[in-house]
């Protein structure tokens, strides 16, 4: 689950089963389920969650204590840190004309591409899962926003003067063109 709408979707899917009353807590990533054992099995509950595009694990007696503390956010924090380090120079060069050098826009594209494709991968994966289920969530919006602005900038770089050596772009608080050249949206 990546947002409250995910929890709501799972809860609705579980509550559609006969003999089931469920609440899903997004913060703890757990469902509290009361069910009629004569009508529904625990495996049916897991299948319902999986049909909604998520995974579920039945509770066990007591989880074994790990030798070392496990940080479930470690990989995401690493992804965020690397993405942030790649994004800072793109922000600086895109918004401060004094920092723009010859072909800066191509360097910005090279720095932005791994952020959009790899850094945002968890959003893209969740958006794809939602698309297959015919639904949308926060992940869909984030994924589409990142991919569309990146793709737009690639097209602008390849088809307009924005890809030329010596191109400069000033930061303005309005949407529009820089002279006859469209703006880039890599940041």
Position 55 scores a pLDDT of 85
pLDDT per residue as tens digits for the range 5-35? 888 888 999 999 999 999 998 888 889 899 9
pTM score, whole prediction:
0.71
Average pLDDT on 147-166 reads: 94
Residue 176, class by beta-carbon neighbours within 10 Å (0-12 exposed, 13-18 middle, 19+ buried)?
exposed
H helix runs in 52-161, sequence order: 74-95, 104-114, 121-133, 138-159
Domain limits, the chain: 1-70, 74-182
Position 57 scores a pLDDT of 86
Average pLDDT across the chain, whole number? 88
Fold of 1-70: Alpha-Beta Plaits (3.30.70)
Average pLDDT on 41-67 reads: 82
Q: Quick check: 61 pLDDT over 70?
A: no
Which stretch of DSSP H or E encloses residue 167? none
pLDDT per residue as tens digits for the range 94-113? 999 999 999 999 999 999 99
Confidence of residue 175 (pLDDT cuts 50, 70, 90): low
Confidence of residue 154 (pLDDT cuts 50, 70, 90): very high
- Between 80 and 70, the more confident residue is 80
Position 67 scores a pLDDT of 73
């Amino acid at each position: 689950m990546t947002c409250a709408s995910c929890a709501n979707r799972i809860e609705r899917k579980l509550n559609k089963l006969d003999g089931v009353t469920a609440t899903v807590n997004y913060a703890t990533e757990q469902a509290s389920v009361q069910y009629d054992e004569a009508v529904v099995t625990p495996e049916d509950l897991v299948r319902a969650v999986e049909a909604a595009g998520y995974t579920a694990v039945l509770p066990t007696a007591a989880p074994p204590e790990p030798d070392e503390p496990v940080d479930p956010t470690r990989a995401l924090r690493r992804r965020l840190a690397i993405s942030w380090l790649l994004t800072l120079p793109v922000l600086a060069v895109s918004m401060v004309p004094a920092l723009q050098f010859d072909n800066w826009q191509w360097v910005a594209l090279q720095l932005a591409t791994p952020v959009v494709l790899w850094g945002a991968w968890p959003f893209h994966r969740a958006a794809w899962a939602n698309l297959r289920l015919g639904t949308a969530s926060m992940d869909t919006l984030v994924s589409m926003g990142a991919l569309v602005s990146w793709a737009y900038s690639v097209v602008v770089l390849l088809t307009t003067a924005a890809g030329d050596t010596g191109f400069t772009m000033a930061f303005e608080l309005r949407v529009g063109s820089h002279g006859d050249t469209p703006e880039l949206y890599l940041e």
